């Protein structure tokens, strides 16, 4: 069973990869010339106050000791206390996770929903007007800066047309958290007002994230379909009179999606590790916005917690992508 082998070997790499990542980020965060204690204590703090704070947060110990202590904490799931909010970082991230997850799923759903069919159609109608127009749109979608797109969408839909909220995740407090996903929670308690509000808040940031993602999916799907459509098995299926729509949407697409799935995995990783810019522009209370705040406040522990999260997400996404490959393409599990 090759599939099990893949999973085990990926998991075995998990810990060393994270530790390596931590060494790098720990080193970088301690050689930049900002002193977190000074930031925390303010300009008027005395030397005694600074020393006391250093001792309290363990910054007085040598770096290797600090690192070992930190590793021990991480191993037990403790990412440390934020020097800014004085609250456990893992708790804060856990609270912000549903917002990021919800936005990620919405954006990936949109990009797959539009990306794959458009990719297939542009391959079938290659070099037609449709294909050329779509190419211009996808290249623009990849090239455009997301903060610019976000602000344009806000100008147009929030300020000029007033059909979507400017920012935030919901009006008011939102439904009582059950899963933390506002859309699911409001459905569970059948609160249509909250649902409408949650969806309308989500639509602009989701579109901002989905446009470049959909562009990537279109490009990869189109290339995949073009590669597959000239293969001998398509000729055979046509010669045997299998209906053309079935050949395209079942037999060609499954082969063509092999490379697209890798891209969808990467997109997931990028979104989950915090759509930093988009969450900031739309004031979306997710992981990405938290990372930005932490960086602005030199909140080392929070930055490192975010980094571990990013690393773990990419490892998990890669693992899932590999498993998905063995499911789509039986040759890869041999």
Q: Which two three-digit tokens encode residue 161? A: 């047309």
Using CB under 8 A, pick the residue from 242, 266, 292, 316 that binds other proteins.
242
The verdict on 132 binding other proteins (CB under 8 A) reads: no
- Rounded CA separation 130/60 (Å): 64
The verdict on 129 binding other proteins (CB under 8 A) reads: no
Burial class (CB in 10 A: 0-12, 13-18, 19+), 36: buried
Q: How far is the CB of 217 from other proteins (least distance, A)?
A: 19
3-state secondary structure of 39: helix
- Rounded CA separation 274/290 (Å): 9
Q: Answer yes or no: are the C-beta atoms of 106 and 198 closer than 8 Å.
A: no
Q: Answer yes or no: are the C-beta atoms of 183 and 195 closer than 8 Å.
A: yes
Which range in 47-55, 63-71, 72-80, 251-259 contacts other proteins by CB under 8 A? 251-259
The verdict on 240 binding other proteins (CB under 8 A) reads: yes
The verdict on 245 binding other proteins (CB under 8 A) reads: yes
The verdict on 322 binding other proteins (CB under 8 A) reads: no
- The binding track of 180-219 with respect to other proteins, each residue x by CB under 8 A or -, is ----------------------------------------
- Rounded CA separation 112/118 (Å): 10
Q: Answer yes or no: are the C-beta atoms of 18 and 5 closer than 8 Å.
A: no
Q: How far is CA 271 from CA 51, 89, 102, 215, 286, in A?
A: 40, 20, 10, 15, 11
The verdict on 251 binding other proteins (CB under 8 A) reads: yes
- Rounded CA separation 99/282 (Å): 12
The verdict on 329 binding other proteins (CB under 8 A) reads: yes
Q: Which is nearer to other proteins, 175 or 224 (CB)?
A: 224
Using CB under 8 A, pick the residue from 61, 72, 132, 238 that binds other proteins.
238
Q: Which is nearer to other proteins, 131 or 329 (CB)?
A: 329
Q: Which is nearer to other proteins, 140 or 231 (CB)?
A: 231
The verdict on 94 binding other proteins (CB under 8 A) reads: no
The verdict on 239 binding other proteins (CB under 8 A) reads: yes
Q: Answer yes or no: are the C-beta atoms of 174 and 182 closer than 8 Å.
A: yes
The verdict on 128 binding other proteins (CB under 8 A) reads: no
Using CB under 8 A, pick the residue from 23, 72, 233, 283 that binds other proteins.
233
- The binding track of 53-92 with respect to other proteins, each residue x by CB under 8 A or -, is ----------------------------------------
Q: Which is nearer to other proteins, 10 or 126 (CB)?
A: 126
The verdict on 125 binding other proteins (CB under 8 A) reads: no
Q: Answer yes or no: are the C-beta atoms of 217 and 264 closer than 8 Å.
A: yes
Let me know the angle formed at the C-alpha of 315 by 283 and 287, rounded to the nearest 5 degrees: 15
Q: Which is nearer to other proteins, 14 or 251 (CB)?
A: 251
Q: Answer yes or no: are the C-beta atoms of 45 and 38 closer than 8 Å.
A: yes
Residues at the interface with other proteins (CB under 8 A): 231-233, 235-246, 249, 251, 254-255, 328-331, 334
């Amino acid at each position: 069973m090759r599939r099990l082998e893949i999973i085990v070997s990926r998991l075995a790499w998990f810990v060393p990869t994270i530790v390596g990542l931590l060494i790098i980020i720990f080193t970088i965060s301690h050689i930049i010339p900002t002193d977190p204690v000074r930031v925390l204590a303010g300009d008027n703090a005395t030397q005694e106050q600074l020393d006391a704070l250093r001792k309290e947060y363990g910054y007085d110990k040598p770096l290797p000791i600090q690192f070992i202590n930190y590793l021990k904490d991480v191993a037990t799931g403790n990412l440390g206390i934020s020097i800014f909010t004085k609250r456990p970082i893992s708790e804060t991230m856990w609270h912000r996770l549903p917002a990021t997850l919800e936005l990620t799923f919405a954006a990936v759903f949109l990009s797959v929903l539009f990306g794959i069919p458009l990719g297939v159609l542009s391959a079938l109608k290659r070099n037609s007007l449709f294909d050329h127009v779509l190419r211009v749109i996808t290249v623009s979608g990849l090239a455009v800066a997301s903060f610019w797109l976000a602000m344009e969408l806000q100008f147009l839909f929030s300020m000029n047309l007033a059909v979507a909220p400017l920012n935030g995740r919901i009006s008011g407090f939102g439904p009582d958290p059950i899963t933390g996903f506002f859309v699911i929670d409001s459905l569970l308690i059948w609160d249509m007002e909250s649902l409408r509000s949650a969806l309308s808040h989500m639509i602009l940031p989701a579109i901002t994230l989905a446009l470049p993602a959909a562009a990537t999916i279109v490009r990869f799907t189109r290339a995949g379909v073009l590669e597959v459509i000239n293969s001998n098995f398509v000729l055979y299926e046509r010669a045997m009179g299998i209906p053309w729509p079935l050949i395209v949407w079942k037999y060609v697409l499954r082969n063509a999606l092999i490379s697209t799935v890798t891209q969808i995995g990467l997109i997931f990783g990028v979104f989950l590790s915090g759509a930093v810019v988009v969450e900031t522009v739309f004031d979306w209370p997710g992981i990405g916005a938290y990372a930005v705040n932490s960086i602005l406040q030199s909140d080392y522990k929070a930055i490192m917690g975010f980094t571990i999260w990013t690393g773990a997400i990419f490892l998990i996404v890669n693992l899932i992508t590999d498993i998905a490959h063995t499911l789509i393409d039986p040759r890869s599990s041999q």
